[in-house]
Amino acid sequence: MSRARADEEEYWHSSKFRAFTFDDEDDELSQLKESKRAVNSLRDIVDDDDDDLEKVSWSGEPVGSISWSIKETASSSTSSLESRDSSLPKGSSSYTALPKQASSYSLSSLFKGEVPPTQFGQMALSDTGVKNYAPELRRPRAEYKDYSSDWSPKDTVRRMQRGKVCSLERFRSLQDKLVLLDEAVAGNDGNVITAVLIFLKRTLRKEILFRELEVRQVALCHLIHFLKETGEQKLLLDLLRITCFSSLSLQLSQYREHLNIQDAEKRKEFLKGCIGLPFSAEDTSHVQDHYTLLERQIIIEANDRRSEKDGQSEIFRKYPRKASILNMPLVTTLFYSCFYHYTEAEGTYSSPTNLKKTFKIPDKQYVLTALAARAKLRAWSDVDALFTTKNWLGYTKKKAPIGFHRVVEILQRNNAPVQVLQEYVRLVEDVETRLNLATKYKCHDVVIDTYRDLKDRIQLAAYRCKVERGSAEEEKIDSILNNVVRNTAS
């Protein structure tokens, strides 16, 4: 036993080839050296002149000998047969009767150039045993039929469900195409339905296709989804308009697509197409207003950009624009118009009164927006004119549809002077609210006059402690208190 082991060790150490070791040589340099040695060894095998080097296999026999070739051929055939036999049921004798034919050529002959590569390939391909070794590689007989053969619509759909290649061009008449579509819908395969719809969309006029889809809701839903996925918006709008598809969620999702359109002109054209969607009367009015608003915004933006660039408008020089008006809400557009175009005539698109009339903006919303815009510019005369009205007798008075308490809050947020605040605090009808606002915003005259009108001497004396000593407000309170005392004494 020890002698055999010694002989084996001597064989490995005396061999001209280097045996595999587990030394740590995994670096790139060692791998490069190994690759170079492998290439050189292959070159030695092909070289006919180098006969002094003995070529051996792992079994110890010289490479290229007849015995080595026979063993290599037999081992490869046996391994392939064993691998194939493992997949067959036991008892099968498909391969047992095959004769073992020895090849007249060896692999060493191929390497040495004795057998041309083309002849070797022909020999391998013409081997009669290939048919017996792999009978299942032959395609089914049905596969050899022409794709344009006379398949019925039902058979065509079945083949498509199995993933087979089918030509739909043979279905030329409208009746055959509709039968094919009905068979696809009956098969409940979404991919087949979509494939048939693509064929019909390509070969039928859209009016005919849409008319037939009105009575085929399943196919209609598939086509709508396909057009949404492919982004064919114009065709989708035509489909919804002709078929009067009544799904509100689908209509809203289609209308929502305008949010993904960045270009203002393209968005305007898209909204124009959305007007024809089968919305309710109220929703259709909103879509129409949206389209009209964007159309106005495009015109206003172009004109204002030109005016700002020229530098001839004082309002743009003093208050440069911070953002574009495009795609802004209606209230923002109204604020913008009241800020930059408040005095323009009603006939212009950028006039606030034109916007109010076109979009039927309520008086409360219009007054709130205009007040905020003019107060931000500190245009107090415009604020005063906003609430001044005349009756049929020619008398003027102030009237606020939003309530003067809200007017005071907006003016205070825009840092209105005390004189302006006091004027509108006096107009608050509710006494308690008036006193709270006057006290909060230090409108002393309003507080003093309100307590005087109420003849509340106690509150007036208490408020005297809240004003500055020696101020005009303190003198006014003392004068009122002294007059009350004199009137009481008399």
Q: pLDDT higher for 180 or 237?
A: 180
pLDDT bucket at 5, cuts 50 / 70 / 90: low
pLDDT higher than 60, residue 118:
no
- pLDDT tens, residue by residue, 248-300: 556 666 677 777 788 889 889 888 888 877 677 888 888 899 999 999 999 99
**First vs last C-alpha separation in the chain:** 148
pLDDT higher than 50, residue 127:
no
pLDDT higher than 80, residue 420:
yes
Where is average pLDDT lowest: 92-106, 257-271, 436-450? 92-106
For residue 192, count CB atoms less than 10 angstroms from its CB and return exposed for 0-12, middle for 13-18, buried for 19 or more. Answer: buried
Give the Cα separation of 320 and 172 in Å (integer).
Answer: 65
Question: What's the pTM?
Answer: 0.53
pLDDT higher than 50, residue 58:
no
pLDDT bucket at 28, cuts 50 / 70 / 90: low
Give the Cα separation of 404 and 441 in Å (integer).
Answer: 14
Q: pLDDT higher for 175 or 487?
A: 175
- pLDDT tens, residue by residue, 308-329: 988 888 899 999 998 899 999 9
pLDDT bucket at 334, cuts 50 / 70 / 90: very high
pLDDT bucket at 434, cuts 50 / 70 / 90: very high
Domain ranges of the chain: 153-246, 248-361
pLDDT bucket at 2, cuts 50 / 70 / 90: low
pLDDT score, position 13:
60
> In whole numbers, what is the pLDDT of the chain averaged over residues?
75
pLDDT score, position 3:
57
pLDDT score, position 325:
93
pLDDT higher than 60, residue 90:
no
Tokens of 206: 């859209």
